[in-house]
Structure 1
Amino acid sequence: MDSNFPYPINNPSALKFKPLSGEERHERFLKHLSPGVTRTQYTTLLERIFREGELVYNERTKKHCLVILSHRMEYDVGAGHFPLDSTRKSYPKSAIFEMVGYWRGYEWASQFRNIGVKTWDANANETEAWLNSPYRKGEDHIGRAYGAQLRRWKGHDGKEIDQLMSVYERIRSGKDDRGLIMTFYNPGEFELGALRPCLHTHQFSILGDGLHLESQQRSNDTPNGQNFNQIQIFWSLYTMAAITGLKPKKAVQNIVNAHIYEDQFETVIEQLNNEPFEEKAKLILPDASTYTMDYILDENGFKPSDVVIEGYESHRAIKHAFSA
């Protein structure tokens, strides 16, 4: 691939949108994919972006990316099919404990680092708009994003609403009012946080003795974020079922905008040319006598060493570029 791969752009802001011809798509992407490589649900999505995506300029990151709209992922949580990508090394404990941090209501990157998660370091400390915000309280501050909205949503009367505990208590009582919804998406407070939520809303449903989950995502940095998001969705359903006495069933992830940034194209092609290992990874969490909501939310309770992953094999780590 030449130095201009994937697309020579002299004036980035001038090229806002470019449909790609079949010849361009083949030359820039498809001819570099090895034939005969098995595709998983995740790598099928990555390849779909190369095959169908259109080139779009993103104002926030000042980068071009290939974009597709509307993609659905399904996870059979009840069958124990833990969705760990093996075409590059995955970090399931970091993914799980990022969601644990949201459940605990964290507002600081330092809180995430204390449980082994570094995913918020860049957005808290490198995003230009947030660094210049009067609402940023200093180094590592995330603000009212994700966890703060989940645990301390501001009501019209100023009182805080704990969405997590409200949903948990209703599920535990067996009451599905068609509103077992937790959302991080609060347009009225976007400016108070470092980043708008990407995987933003989770709705549980009870059918018989089974618990289901449907999650909505507005934006998906597919090389970096999706491998975390699919683990988090699996863990959320598995855990909520375990601590409420229900059986986990299936989870669905609806992605509106899935994209690959221009500085990720080469590393994604490398990843797609790796033959995946057999999908046999198992997630093992503490037994029911220990694994409770109180234990998960306790700063001195649930910890990464409580999580065991069995049967996971993968190719080496591949570092995709990250856009803060």
Structure 2
Amino acid sequence: MRHPEYQYLDLIERVLEYGDERVDRTGVGTRSLFGAMVRFDLSDGTAPILTTKRVYWKTAIKEMLWFLTGGTNIQPLLRENVRIWTDWPLAAYRRETGESVTQEEFERRIVEDDGFAAQWGELGPVYGKQWRRWMGSDGREHDQIGTLIRALRETPASRRLLFHGWNVAELGEMALPPCHMVYQYHVTSDGRLNCLLLQRSVDLLLGAAFNYVGATALQLMLAQQAGLRPGELVWVGGDVHLYRNHFDQAREQLGREPRALPKISLAKRAESIDDYRIEDFEVEGYDPHPHIKADVAV
């Protein structure tokens, strides 16, 4: 059987060979394909943590846990040594103040100064806010994750097992509109939980690897909370692209042979979806190729 990671590597190769050259929002430029799918079987504990480069899986899971808190400020992330969201508020701070502060100094001030964090660490109503505190036209907040878990337990055959973050009314207030946009779930007759993740836009070199891990972690938590077993993760990408300044790194990754995928499991059962911690996730057998450094386009 062909190694599952080749789905990702083949996608990189197709983007490099056939992608449409585009001028994007960031000004960096991309090579892009529209429409892609990869599938990973999680039923035996296999984790889609890429091996052709080191993926910092704890960072990806910490980000997912932060989403589940409903938080929109980067201070808790920085206190967990997660820096993947700093670029956007840092750019806003530099633009609005004219101060050429370093990223390290900006992050230090966010961590140590609650007032500074409240003013400059906010991302707007991004993922967590929409997932846990969507404001309806009736003035009530709606917890999409809580509603999903109840539905998984009570109506597992439903075709409405989903949540999403594309709140049209609040897009303009977000530092970055949601890329991984819709999560839809499906429960099989023998108790397996499948997930289809629709991602409208994906930075193939940097983003996809994190999205696979985050979605897997969420699927494990939801399955446990609903008394189900993990099944298949189906990832669907809309605008699937490589940034121009990632081409060399992508070719480097293509030259590496995939290694055995690791296993992932939950060390204990949490009381609720709000009670999981990074220590609850165990990954065994992860032996990747070295990390490949690349810059985020903001």
TM-score (norm 1): 0.80
Partner of 1:257: 239
Partner of 2:9: 43
Structure 1 residue 257, shift from structure 2 partner = 0.6
For residues 277 and 175 of structure 1, do their structure 2 counterparts lie closer, same or farther at Cα, with a shift above 3 Å needed?
Answer: closer
Partner of 1:216: 198
Structure 1 residue 227, shift from structure 2 partner = 0.3
Structure 1 residue 177, shift from structure 2 partner = 2.9
Partner of 2:109: none
Structure 1 residue 228, shift from structure 2 partner = 0.3
For residues 131 and 221 of structure 1, do their structure 2 counterparts lie closer, same or farther at Cα, with a shift above 3 Å needed?
Answer: farther
Partner of 2:289: 315
How far apart, in 2, do the equivalents of 1:287 and 1:39 lie? 28
For residues 216 and 129 of structure 1, do their structure 2 counterparts lie closer, same or farther at Cα, with a shift above 3 Å needed?
Answer: farther
Partner of 1:271: 253
How far apart, in 2, do the equivalents of 1:156 and 1:131 lie? 32
For residues 61 and 191 of structure 1, do their structure 2 counterparts lie closer, same or farther at Cα, with a shift above 3 Å needed?
Answer: same
CA contact (8 A) 1:95 1:231 kept: yes
RMSD: 2.3
CA contact (8 A) 1:74 1:252 kept: yes
CA contact (8 A) 1:130 1:194 kept: no
Instruction: Give 2:152's match in structure 1, choosing from 171, 174, 190.
Output: 171
Structure 1 residue 130, shift from structure 2 partner = 9.1
How far apart, in 2, do the equivalents of 1:129 and 1:218 lie? 29
* Partner-residue secondary structure (3-state), 2:36: strand
* Partner-residue secondary structure (3-state), 2:199: strand
* Partner-residue secondary structure (3-state), 1:230: helix
1:247 equivalent in alignment to 2:229? yes
Q: Which amino acid aligns with 2:187?
A: I
Partner of 1:304: 278
Partner of 1:149: 130
CA contact (8 A) 1:130 1:193 kept: no
Structure 1 residue 80, shift from structure 2 partner = 2.0
CA contact (8 A) 2:195 2:234 kept: yes
CA contact (8 A) 1:72 1:253 kept: yes
Matches within 5 A, 1:60-79: 60-79=25-44
For residues 114 and 303 of structure 1, do their structure 2 counterparts lie closer, same or farther at Cα, with a shift above 3 Å needed?
Answer: farther
Structure 1 residue 253, shift from structure 2 partner = 1.0
Structure 1 residue 234, shift from structure 2 partner = 1.6
Q: Structure 1: give runs of 5+ residues left out of the alignment.
A: 1-37
Q: Which amino acid aligns with 2:267?
A: P
CA contact (8 A) 1:170 1:176 kept: no
How far apart, in 2, do the equivalents of 1:316 and 1:131 lie? 38
How far apart, in 2, do the equivalents of 1:39 and 1:248 lie? 19
Matched residue pairs, number?
276
For residues 128 and 222 of structure 1, do their structure 2 counterparts lie closer, same or farther at Cα, with a shift above 3 Å needed?
Answer: farther
1:195 equivalent in alignment to 2:176? yes
> Structure 1 vs Structure 2: percent identity of aligned residues?
28
Structure 1 residue 128, shift from structure 2 partner = 8.2
Of the two structures, which has the highest relative contact order with CA contacts closer than 8 Å and spacing of 6 or more?
A: 2
* Partner-residue secondary structure (3-state), 2:213: helix
1:228 equivalent in alignment to 2:210? yes
Partner of 2:271: 292
- Name the structure with the higher helix share: 2
Task: Render the CA deviation track for 1:243-278: whole Å, top value 9, x for unaligned.
Answer: 210122112111011100111111111121122222
* Partner-residue secondary structure (3-state), 2:206: helix
Instruction: Give 2:142's match in structure 1, choosing from 161, 169, 176.
Output: 161
Partner of 2:111: none
Task: Render the CA deviation track for 1:8-40: whole Å, top value 9, x for unaligned.
Answer: xxxxxxxxxxxxxxxxxxxxxxxxxxxxxx962
How far apart, in 2, do the equivalents of 1:276 and 1:176 lie? 36
CA contact (8 A) 1:199 1:216 kept: yes
Q: Which has the larger radius of gyration?
A: 1
Structure 1 residue 71, shift from structure 2 partner = 0.2
* Partner-residue secondary structure (3-state), 2:122: coil
How far apart, in 2, do the equivalents of 1:305 and 1:103 lie? 16
Task: Render the CA deviation track for 1:83-121: whole Å, top value 9, x for unaligned.
Answer: 111111111111112111111111101122233422111
* Partner-residue secondary structure (3-state), 2:172: helix
Q: Which amino acid aligns with 1:259?
A: H
For residues 121 and 159 of structure 1, do their structure 2 counterparts lie closer, same or farther at Cα, with a shift above 3 Å needed?
Answer: same
Structure 1 residue 127, shift from structure 2 partner = 5.2
How far apart, in 2, do the equivalents of 1:265 and 1:127 lie? 28
* Partner-residue secondary structure (3-state), 1:126: helix
CA contact (8 A) 1:65 1:260 kept: yes
For residues 129 and 160 of structure 1, do their structure 2 counterparts lie closer, same or farther at Cα, with a shift above 3 Å needed?
Answer: farther
How far apart, in 2, do the equivalents of 1:187 and 1:131 lie? 25
How far apart, in 1, do the equivalents of 2:30 and 2:92 lie? 19
Q: Structure 2: give runs of 5+ residues left out of the alignment.
A: 98-116
